[in-house]
Amino acid sequence: MIVDCEIRLAMPRDAHRIAAMSRDFVEHGLGWRWNAGKVLRSINDRAANVAVACERGELVGFGIMKYLDDEAHLHLLAVQPQRQRRGVGAALMAWLEATALTAGIGVVYLEARSSNAQARAFYRRLGYSEFEFVRRYYRGVEDGVRLAKDLW
């Protein structure tokens, strides 16, 4: 059960915290690409949403999704490790998927590290299907798995 979890659009002041979470929880071992500048560009991108989950005013998770004409692509999703398995990630995904549906988008795509069984299982529980294995997807060092969900 989520206690006092609010999901809202990120503000520019959130960019540094989101970037640090990406570095620490998503990009670890790969080098850091989603720095504060890149996150801020996504916050300001009219074709993207950066959603944050806050508990008691503390940013505990985020998701970055890019919306195209007929599909959406989840770039990043992270929840603080001590807040995982409490519904925060699922709530963020539901918020982002609802936004996609409102925009008339019926399919969401994303990638996960092939070695990250926990993330892959999380997305499968949310109705995503693995459809492609991509060798050395992550910076030429680690394999990835592409997943998709038909929202319609």
Q: 109 by DSSP, 3-state: which?
A: strand
Catalytic residue among 111, 128, 137, 138: 111
**Quick check: is 67 catalytic?**
no
CA atoms of 112 and 148, how far apart (whole Å): 11
> 65, 122, 83, 98: which is closest to 3 by C-alpha?
83
Look up 123 and say whether it is catalytic: yes
| Distance separating alpha carbons of residues 5 and 16, to the nearest angstrom | 20
Strand spans (E) along the chain:
5-9, 48-55, 58-67, 72-79, 107-113, 129-138, 142-150
Q: Which residue among 123, 128, 137, 138 is the active-site one?
A: 123
Catalytic residues: 111, 123
